[in-house]
Structures are given as structure tokens and as C-alpha cells.
Structure 1
Amino acid sequence: MRNVIKVVAINSQSHCLFVLPNQSKLIDKTTTIHFGFQKMKVACKQLNTLKENEIGLSKTVIDKLRLPLEAEYELAIEKNRIIIGPFIGLLIANYQSELREKVKYLKFIIRQYPLVRGVIAAFSLEGMDEKNAKINGPIYNPTSRRWEKRTFPFPTVIIKRMLLSTKRQNDLKNLYGSRFFNSAYINKWKMYQLLSLNKDLIPHLPKTYLYKKPEDILHYLKNFRTIYVKPLSGLKGMGVEKFIAKPNIFCVKFRSDKENKTIDFFSENELLNYVRAKFKSEKYVIQQEIDLEIEKNHLIDYRIVLIKNENGQWEDVGMVGRRGVEGSVVSNRSSGGKVERGETLLLSSFNLTNAEMLSYRQKMSEIAIKAAKELDKYESIYKYGIDIGIDRHHHIWLIEINNHAPNDHIFSHVGDYDTISKIKNSSMLYAKYMAGFPGNRDSQ
């Protein structure tokens, strides 16, 4: 059968699937139709009046499945089982009263629907009737190009696009497994613990410790001479401070109000008093310094974006380089850093040949993907922004893995809008794969 099909309602007293004679050999005489969590056993019959891109279903089957007829579908045919889809749900609100307003922010669906097809539904927690396995909410109608109120089964896949309580999140994880995604957030300490379980990644991880008491900072500062203290859940380099132990003095460097700041302490007690006032226990990590000052007074690091593609595989979609503002303790653009083409910055900052640059770029990608695959063992995440650095000795370091809404638009600063588009499409294409419709699926 062709990939794209329309479902036609047929008047029949029995529960039947109707196909053209040349298609009937693909389908068992009796099979089960699946649409989201709803399913129904049907008998397969031939019907000559159907078009090449149509299948027929008895009206009783359509009603039971709550199957919208306006949509364009694909079929995944397995032994004794046919999946009509994809059927993707977007969890966007707590209450039904919020849906109309929040659906306005789903304009990307109109652009992406031809890539995905099937049924895309938006819903709230309040709209979920778990007892009867149905949901009330709007679905996208590709014919009218509008969102229309419907009642539908639980979808095959859910993309979370809102904050959830731990209990509700765990309930949906238990129900859907990895098909409930965009649901995890891993803080810096948990991330370090998980990645440290892979012996191949340990050489690329800066030593990291959970801050529990002020004396911890003093202890690791004496050990490493320079350390970073970072918020457990910080973004965009905010709240990062660099501690330096010098003869007879301790220095703390940070960014504030778009300026570099330095505070000097002349005794351990002065330093400890500052730490007590500034940092809360178990809300920060302490990290050894990686020397990324490849150019004098400028930190240089790189952001690699990984997505899970339409075939469920991790894909490195691109890299940018970041040159920190002079004297800054972070390289982030939000702190004044400059975004440059990654390969160009890698080539020039280390004075590499093109072949050497490509070799390092490949190694960086391999390490990033290895880290993402390790995290797959614990959480269902489809996109990472991986901050990666190369020190003066050309050693590659995994500085941070951003899994909470990494900035898709970072590539706009180097004019790479094709990559932005690919990243933005990735969640729906990965959802389509998770619903049983991979991108490389052969036509049936």
C-alpha cells in the first residue's frame, strides 16, 4: 500500500476492513486495528470501488476507534496487527480552560503536519479520562487547518510541553514508558553520576562534587587551586563563579550586570563567610577547572546539538564555537560571548590543518553521542545541547550536557537557518518514529 492513505466509512453491519483486491494479500483475513490505545478486531474484505490511496472501515469500527476521517494516515502492517497513525498527543495544560489560549502557540504544527500526518491532538490533564481511556481536547484538522474539539483515545505517543508534578509525570511514564518523552530533566550532579558509570567517558569528565558545606569549597580549592562553582540547575552560565587560590589570597571571579567582577579574600575565614552567605547546600556543584583559555583572556568552547532523528538514532546536527568576552569566567553569548562557526574556530584557535580539524570534530561528535546513549539507559530525552571543550593539550572534555530546552536559535548567529529548522522539526519526527512510523520505513 502507499504510504499516505485516507480512511473511508463503509456501511456494514459487521466489523470489517476493506481493501482493494491487489492489497488483500498484505493483510490477514482477520486482524486487529490499532489507533492509539484503542483497538478492535476486524475481518478483511475486498472492495473494488476503493481508490488506490484508500482503505475502508465499517462505521462501527470508526466509531469504536474514534478515528477522525479528515486526517491523512500511514499504515504500519505487522502480523495480525495494523496500526493507523501516527497518533501524537501534546500535553500542554493542566485545565481545559487553558487549552484554547495555549493551542495558539502550536502554529508549528501547521508547518510540520505534511512531515508527520496522522492525528496530532492537544490536551490537558483535566481532559484525560483514564477510567474510560479517552481524552477531550482539540485535534488538528489538516483539511480546515484548524484545531477542532473532539473526544479521542489515549494517543500512541505523548510529548510533554508543560511542567508536571513528579507524581503525574511518573504516572505517565509508567503508562507510556519511553513513548512519553521530553519529560526528563537531569541536573548537573545527577548527570555527572550517570555519565561516570561509563568507563569510556570518565577521562572526558571534569571531576565534579556536590557542594554540601562551605568547607567543601576550601578543600577542593586547596586540591585543584582553581575550581568552578555552578548552580545545580543553572542555565546560560548564570550564577557560575570561579575560585582561585593564590599565595596569601583567594580570588572569586564572576559576571554581573554584563561586567566581570573580582572579589579578593585575605583569609580562609573571609572566604568561608562569603560562601556561607552565597551558596545553599546541595544546590551547587564544585567542578575542577579545565583550562580552555586557548586565546589570551578568552575562553573557547563549543556547543554540539544532538537530536534523535526520524529513525530513532542520535544525530549530530551541527556545532558552533563560543569565544568568551575578555576576562569572563563563562563563554555564553548571554554573558557577552561571541558565537562563531564551530569548525572555523576549531581550525584557527589550534592552528590545525583541515584534516586535523575534521579528526577532532569527529572525536567530539563520537564522545557526545556516546554520552547521549549512556543517558538513554535512564531517561527518555530526544535533544541535547552539549558543551564541549578542548584544552591546551588537545584533550576533549564534556563540560555540560543541557537537556532542559537547549537554545535552538544559537545557529542563527552563524546564519545556519537550515539547522534550526531541522532541530525544530525533530520532536515531531521522533514522535512519529516512536508511534511506529520510522522515516526509512519501506512503502507497504
Structure 2
Amino acid sequence: MKKILLPLLFGCSLTAPVSASNTQVDRLADQVEGDVIKWRRHFHQYPELSNREFETAKTIAKYLESLGLEVQTGIAKTGVVAVLDSGKPGPVVALRADIDALPVTESVDLPFASKVRTTHEGFDVGVMHACGHDTHIAMLMGAAKILTTMKDQLKGKVKFIFQPAEEGAPAGETGGAEVMVKEGVLKSPDVDVIFGLHISSDQDVGTVYYREGGIMAAVDPFKVVIKGKQSHGAYPWNSVDPIVTSAQVIMGLQTIVSREVELIDSAAVVTIGMIHGGNRSNIIPNEVEMVGTIRTLNPNIRQHIHKAVHNKVNSIAKSMNASAEVTLPLDYSYPITYNEPSLMRKMLPVLQATAGKDNAKVTGAVTGAEDFSFFQEEVPGLYLFVGGKNKNLPKSQAPDHHTPEFRIDESGMKLGVRLLSNLTLDYMHNPK
């Protein structure tokens, strides 16, 4: 994912939070780090695909139960949720980790490398935690240990959400955060705020990256079908050529972002990633099908692009005597991962106190997507990036997420554990 660096200004002065708990969190994080690494390696060695995280969920639930927490399983098929009740009045803080792996065959030479294979959409594939969800599970389990140990210092409740299928449910199924929300994961007790982290393979360990507003894009897949009139390829004048029409549609769609969208504050993307039409060199077909994706970081721009896609496609088709059908969204749709600005300002001192002021850095927006956004549509939430790259490794050599070469420096997880713990403690003592 390429990042677009955008400025971020806060119009208020910020002071570091005063909390005697920070020292205790640091001490407990040191103590639990070995377990966090052990847990991460276990989940990495035994990954499971979206909506198939059965053993992963059992391992998580067993540990949470050992902490004396109230645990629910089978939410959104394989999700696990646990509640820590302080016994004192206060807000409900939710912490979320995603738990699914990807159909990727690992190439990294690790003693705990995944050797798992399974069938995915009819193909024999390797399975790998190639996006760091194994670290997310381990960090949240570590935070659960710390917060349970510090129960007497809490006010309110903590809800630990281990979410399946962030990478997308298998064909014909539903899953992930959207289903968890529909099944009431943010209710009983009603969540006031939610925090989530993502490990980053190209940012140094010990750093945390934040942004107010849109930090990850909305994603809206779409399909366009251009219908024309078939003819012999030698006699194109007898046709209404959907291939030529589709070519003009593709070029027209690119002008939406380049000529209609004000990109000073927010990035946007319209991409056609697949096109099918015809079966012989000398036959002009009846129709062509195209499938693409829209990525936006601003709700108004998202709405404008949706309307513009319909307008461009239908107008160009009509000009070529063809017809068009637009399906938008196609099969799923993720909202913008949006860090509520006032909450971001409120919690920024916690990031600075936990990581060190120089290690809490503004990030550019990312045109990748995250279904954490479904939680943020319901309650205020923050989504942050935690560094997972060894400081001695040049950024240019850092492996990409979703690749067989993906790897992280496990020492970066301790900051994630501390952040989840400190964000919870600070918000509980300063909810307004």
C-alpha cells in the first residue's frame, strides 16, 4: 500500500497525561512480553483463513477464561468476545484484534513458519499470517493480562473483541466486523469507545503512527456491463462494439478523479481491475463486463464518485449506441476508517507518553481499507499503526504485507500492548 502524506494540524495545546499507572503498565508489559511472543509464534505456525478460525478461537477463549473473564464464542461464526468488569461505574472501552490469515504460501525461513495448506475457492493453497494478524491477537491477549492484573485501577468495563474475517469472508458467506456489529457486539454492555492497532512492516519498532479523520479508505467494488450488438469482426459497421465502448468508458472513469475531485485534502482512486469480453479474434461480442474498485477518504467525495461513475458509464454507452448496467457496490462495501478528530486530539498525549513524543508520528492516509470502520460507524474509535520493522533494516528492503516474504520484528509488539493498556486506563479516568 502506498501512502499519501498529508498535513495534520491540531489547533490546541496538548499536555502529557498524568497517570501513575504508566509505570505499572511498563513493568507488566516487560513481564508478559515473553508470553506475547510465544502466542504470536503459535498463531503464526497454525494460521486459519477467514471464517475458518476455529482452533485460533479456541486458543483465545481458553486463555481469556483462565483470566477469569466472561467469554462469549461463536460471534460472527468464529469471533471471541470477553468482558472485564471492574465493578465500578465508568465507560465501556472496547479493544479489537483481527484473527484471520491469508491464502499465501510462506517463504520466510523461520522455525515457526507456517506449513499449513488448505483448499480455498477450489485451489490448494498455503495459509499464512501475511498481514500481522497473529501479532494483533498476541498484543490484545497481552493487554488483557495487564488490564486484568490492574482491575482495581479500572473504572467501568473493558470489552476484548477478537474479530474473524477481516480479510473478507469466503464467496457466498458473510463475516467480519459488519456481522459482529449486526449481532450486537457493541451492545450489552454498550461500548463508548473502541481502539484498534495494526502492525506495520515498513515502520520502525517503537513507533506509533496516527492521523485524525480518514486514515484508511472506504472501498466500493463495482461492476459495469456494456451491451452492444454482435457482428463479424470484418464488418464492424454492422455492430455496436462493446469493446471499443468499454475502452472509452475506462478512460472516462479516470477523468473523475483527475478532473472532478478536489484532491488537496483527500485522495481517491477509481481502478478497473478486470475486463472480460469476446471469445474469438474475428467476432465482435454482444457484451463486455468490467469489475473495479473505488477508494475514498472523504464521505462527500465518495458520494460524488458514485454518482459520477453512473453518469460517465451511461453517457459514454449512449453516445456509442450501446447500453450499460452499473452495479455499485458490487458484493461488499467498507466505510472510511475514520479517527474521530476530537477523540484523536484527546488521546494523542497518551500516544506521546507511551511511545515517546518523537516516536508518535503523523501518518499519511492509506488507500487500503479496514473493516474496523464498521465499529467506528457506531461508536467513536481510533485506529493506529505500530512499527514492526527492525531499525537496522532499510525501509526499501522491508517486505510488503500480503506477500510470502512478510515478516515483522517481534520486539515491536510490546509497544502495542502498552498502547492498548494505556489508552484504556486513560480513557476510563478521563472519559469526557
Structure holding more helix per residue:
2
- What TM-score do you get using the length of structure 2 for normalisation? 0.22
Name the structure, 1 or 2, with higher relative contact order (CA <8 Å, separation 6+): 2
- What TM-score do you get using the length of structure 1 for normalisation? 0.22
Structure holding more strand per residue:
1
Which entry has the higher C-alpha Rg, 1 or 2? 1
